[in-house]
């Protein structure tokens, strides 16, 4: 529904803009202005988007918490500029790295992390912080 609304408002903006000769004329209507305003408010209010991260650790058991903290520490020491996230979702501890909008953006870091964490892989994440790549 959200993507549909943004798409519809984009179509209205495109249809409302009419080129005549060498002058550019834009027709505004109250409905169009309302859609654009709503779309802008929605886009600015959104703080996270669907994106990708690299999972370097996932485990459960007695030592999983310590292992996840060690993995997070190792990543932070090697890549201090990358955002690192440790999460617990019973019974698993996970460590994920990065905020990437597209899978292809995560590939260079994945190849570097595989030297230290051979089993790491790219995962979809619904809580990638928008402010890290959109400003």
Claim to verify: residue 31 and residue 89 sit in the same structural domain: no
Q: What is the pTM of this model?
A: 0.65
User: Do residues 121 and 57 share a domain?
Assistant: yes
Q: Does 114 lie in the same domain as 82?
A: yes
Does position 44 have pLDDT exceeding 70, yes or no? no
pLDDT exceeds cutoff 70 at 4:
no
- Beta bridge partners, 51, equal 125
Q: Which residue segment(s) compose the domain that 25 sits in?
A: 2-45
pLDDT digits (tens, 9 = 90+) for 7-34: 555 555 555 544 444 566 666 677 777 7
The Cα-based distances of 129 to 64, 85, 126, 132, 133 in angstroms read 26, 12, 9, 6, 8
Domain count within the chain: 2
Residue 21's pLDDT is what?
46
Question: What's the pLDDT at 135?
Answer: 46
């Amino acid at each position: 529904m959200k993507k549909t609304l943004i798409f519809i408002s984009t179509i209205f903006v495109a249809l409302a803009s009419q080129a005549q000769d060498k002058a550019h004329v834009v027709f505004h209507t109250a409905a169009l202005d309302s859609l654009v305003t709503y779309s802008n408010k929605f886009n600015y209010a959104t703080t996270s988007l669907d994106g990708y991260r690299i999972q370097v650790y996932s485990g459960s058991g007695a030592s999983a918490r310590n292992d996840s903290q060690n993995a997070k520490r190792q990543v932070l020491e090697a890549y201090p500029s990358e955002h690192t996230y440790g999460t617990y979702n019973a019974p698993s501890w996970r460590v994920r790295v990065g905020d990437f909008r597209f899978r292809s953006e995560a590939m260079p870091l994945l190849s570097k992390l595989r030297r230290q964490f051979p089993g790491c892989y790219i995962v979809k994440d619904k809580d990638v912080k928008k402010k890290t790549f959109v400003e």
